[in-house]
Structure 1
Amino acid sequence: MNNLEFDRQHIWHPYTSALDPLPCYEVTGASGAELRLSSKEVLVDGMSSWWAAIHGYNHPVINQAAHAQIDKFAHVMFGGITHQPAIDLCKTLLNIVPQGLSRIFLADSGSVSIEIAIKMAIQYWASQGRTEKSKLLTPRGGYHGDTFAAMSVSDPTNTMHGSFRKTLIEHFFAPAPQIGFDNAWHPDEIAPMRDILEQHHHQIAALILEPILQAAGGMRLYHPEYLKQCRLLCDEFDVLLICDEIATGFGRTGELFACNHAQISPDILCLGKALTGGYISMAATICTEQVAVGVCEGEPGVFMHGPTFMGNPLGCAVANASIELLLNSDWQGNVKRIETRLKHNLMPLAKLDSVENVRCLGAIAVAQMKSSVNVALFQKDCISQGAWIRPFGKLIYLMPPYICSDQQIDCLTQAIEYAITKGCAR
């Protein structure tokens, strides 16, 4: 039995049926912005390995940091122990995240960082004697992860989580933001969020949202004023604001953090994915001093969470190298260059009968189709054009590494045009 046949029969891949799994392609190497397959194709990666590998693959600076740390120690427990990589990482993060954030909880995945944020918010109010504030509020159309608390604040009609609807805690949902990033703002957009807070703020611990980009829930880009108004409403109605920047953090939207588009700072910030440049799973939940102190003022007097691999030294060392590499590069220039190229190449596709619309911001591009995309067929077509792109639902999207050349961006966009023209959405 060859590798791919064994994989098909025994290994379960994400969002794939065990009865009729999607085709898998074996990667044998990766460098720069390219993946090499066992079948000898070399593909430009349009996904940054689910938005994480912002520097591409096999980067010598990050490799060296990983080697140096693993030769010292790969992991120690974080209970009662600290180490230089964690201290360095937390110092760096506090220097670059939005102002007002001061306490960092280092976890092991983006979904877990959301669980931690939700627990922080609920324990904060419980410690203040306000146990009735135990619900969350969030816009529809969002996605925050596949663990249970994260699912409960993701879009309740999303088919990814529909099977668990009766098991999940029920929270409050506002309509999804409708005004696009570049469109004219209208104050009616925020009215439904205000209405819910006016009626239920005494029950709501926190408002959680993805700043500027609702990512895996639909790749929707919305107006910065919506985010700004959410911050004001949270202040007015005594509700914490949690910003999930797992997808948008570290430059993806053209700002270092998407919150910066609206010049706001949350009470709790969640980071992951690009935190380590895609090398290793790690996340951070960062909160204000008020939240950190408030959580610990009542019983039990400590924050009740402690992942086994919290503060993993290898992850911290890699994250330090990745962030330093980003900050010392012309990341803004590269992201802007990619945005310009994506718009130039993809906007004309909006004229095609099968395409609903095209939208771009930073190193993000989305072609929304009128019908669902045949993933297996689409990927086969793209591979034939030297591109790795994974769509979902009606959405064909790109989030390439920031190191992509113009020629590599052209390869990705031409592959999309080729696959759409051949009729992948059917």
Structure 2
Amino acid sequence: MFSDIEFDQRHIWHPYTSMIQPLPCYPVSSAQNVSLYLQDGTELVDGMSSWWAAIHGYNHPKLNQAASQQLTKMAHVMFGGITHQPATELCRRLIEITEPELETVFLADSGSVAVEVAMKMALQYWQSKGERRHQFLALRHGYHGDTFGAMSVCDPQNSMHSLYQGFLPQNLFADGMDIPFSGEWQEGAMEHFSRLMERHQQEIAAVILEPIVQGAGGMRFYHPEYLKGIRQLCDKYQILMITDEIATGFGRTGKLFACQHAGISPDIQCVGKALTGGYMTFSAVMTTRNVANVISQGEAGCFMHGPTFMANPLACAVACASLDLLAENHWQSQVAQIADALEQGLRPLEDSPYVHQVRVLGAIGVVEVVKPINMASLQKFFVARGVWIRPFGKLIYLMPPYIIQPAQLSLLIDAIRHAVSRPDILFG
């Protein structure tokens, strides 16, 4: 008879993990506030927000209450020909807090699905207008998800999806975005992007990008002027602009949505991850009235997408409660305090010979080391110090829950500080 861990290693796939030589897997029995509790009683302060979603921490009474109350009414009903109050309330709230141009909402299953929906919307938009625009212009170092369409707009050389080249649709990728968020803007920085748009303006259905923060593609923070310039070019060539705010939305960068750093509004916007406070998989795609109308005036007469669990009432109810908490907890001050602590705690690590660069923006802190880390040894080191930090590539980063307290954040920062002084643990 296999133990749970042995069974897990033999039979269960984990993200980006070998089935032959799996990385160590730590059994969690419960989660509370900003901590994960292992089966042996070990407490780990979570610096990841469960891949950037659990902004209110774990087992929050208000989110629990929203889920339990909705369960007594209905867990799920189809959304075809039916509507319900949790969905209308959530969509009303999303429209209120996003840019005024974004007037319509499509409720989807996950972040990757939201990107698929946004891309399908762009293609159907141009089909409805009688133009065959079938390509997307994306950014090098970008990441948009693991499904087929989403993979096609991830960086084709430097992403985890390079294995699938030859099978994916061929899209366009712009170099650059090299001026950091707080760097000095340079004239001519948009030249490559501008040339690509001009050359392919008749084929491009939409530009798709992560605004300001390129997350899983490298945790890079680029200058807001890029976004302003891209919005202007999209307007000039009448190309749709899709912003993937799945990781950045709901305050993570210090603005409610990262586009606000540049004062621009997209034609289509994807949100997810923190939408339900990390309680369940859910996402939303928001569009301008023009996008919705053009699609609906086309040959099909509607947008051709309808997931089984679209607008799940449980997810909608929890998302509404999460938005309540975001406002009640004064997320701006929470994120600002986290940013200050990350800056003070991580910035000195740039003096280490093993550190290439430290980057901080909002509630995101990144330490990029000089070569790829040894995941197994570094993960074991962090667990021994009572923290949960999941590095990748050359990056050790923090995106903690907004409710984290100073002492808990210090524990995370101290663990990173000690790790970068130990090349034997960093690099194995």
TM-score (norm 1): 0.99
1:18-58: per-residue Cα shift (whole Å, max 9, x none)? 11011100111111000000122101100000000000000
Aligned-residue offset at 1:167: 0.2
Aligned-residue offset at 1:418: 1.7
What is the aligned partner in structure 2 of residue 397 from structure 1?
397
1:210-359 to 2 correspondences below 5 Å: 210-359=210-359
State the distance in 2 between where 1:395 and 1:13 align.
Answer: 20
Structure 1, unpaired ranges of 5+: none
What is the aligned partner in structure 2 of residue 35 from structure 1?
36
1:165-176 to 2 correspondences below 5 Å: 165-176=165-176
Structure 1 counterpart of 2:184, one-letter code: A
What is the aligned partner in structure 1 of residue 25 from structure 2?
24
What is the aligned partner in structure 1 of residue 58 from structure 2?
57
The answer to whether structure 1 residue 383 and structure 2 residue 383 are counterparts is yes
1:325-384: per-residue Cα shift (whole Å, max 9, x none)? 101221100100000000100011111111100000000010001110111111111111
Q: Percent identity, please.
A: 55
Q: Describe the SS at the equivalent of 1:88.
A: helix
8 A Cα contact 2:141 2:159, kept in partner: no
Q: Describe the SS at the equivalent of 2:279.
A: coil
Structure 2, unpaired ranges of 5+: none
TM-score (norm 2): 0.98
Structure 1 counterpart of 2:359, one-letter code: R
8 A Cα contact 2:49 2:400, kept in partner: yes
CA-based RMSD of the aligned residues comes to: 0.8
Aligned-residue offset at 1:270: 0.1
Q: Describe the SS at the equivalent of 1:327.
A: helix
Q: Describe the SS at the equivalent of 1:345.
A: helix
8 A Cα contact 2:143 2:159, kept in partner: no
What is the aligned partner in structure 2 of residue 207 from structure 1?
207
Q: Describe the SS at the equivalent of 1:425.
A: helix
The answer to whether structure 1 residue 418 and structure 2 residue 418 are counterparts is yes
Aligned-residue offset at 1:187: 2.4
Q: Describe the SS at the equivalent of 2:396.
A: strand
Structure 1 counterpart of 2:247, one-letter code: A
State the number of aligned residues. Answer: 425
8 A Cα contact 1:371 1:425, kept in partner: no
What is the aligned partner in structure 2 of residue 87 from structure 1?
88
What is the aligned partner in structure 2 of residue 158 from structure 1?
158
State the distance in 2 between where 1:425 and 1:27 align.
Answer: 24
State the distance in 2 between where 1:260 and 1:238 align.
Answer: 21
Aligned-residue offset at 1:158: 2.7
Q: Describe the SS at the equivalent of 2:188.
A: helix
8 A Cα contact 1:394 1:425, kept in partner: no
State the distance in 2 between where 1:216 and 1:98 align.
Answer: 25
State the distance in 1 between where 2:218 and 2:377 align.
Answer: 21
Q: Describe the SS at the equivalent of 1:28.
A: strand
8 A Cα contact 1:349 1:355, kept in partner: yes
State the distance in 1 between where 2:413 and 2:212 align.
Answer: 23
- Structure 1 runs (4+) deviating above 6 angstroms are none
The answer to whether structure 1 residue 198 and structure 2 residue 198 are counterparts is yes
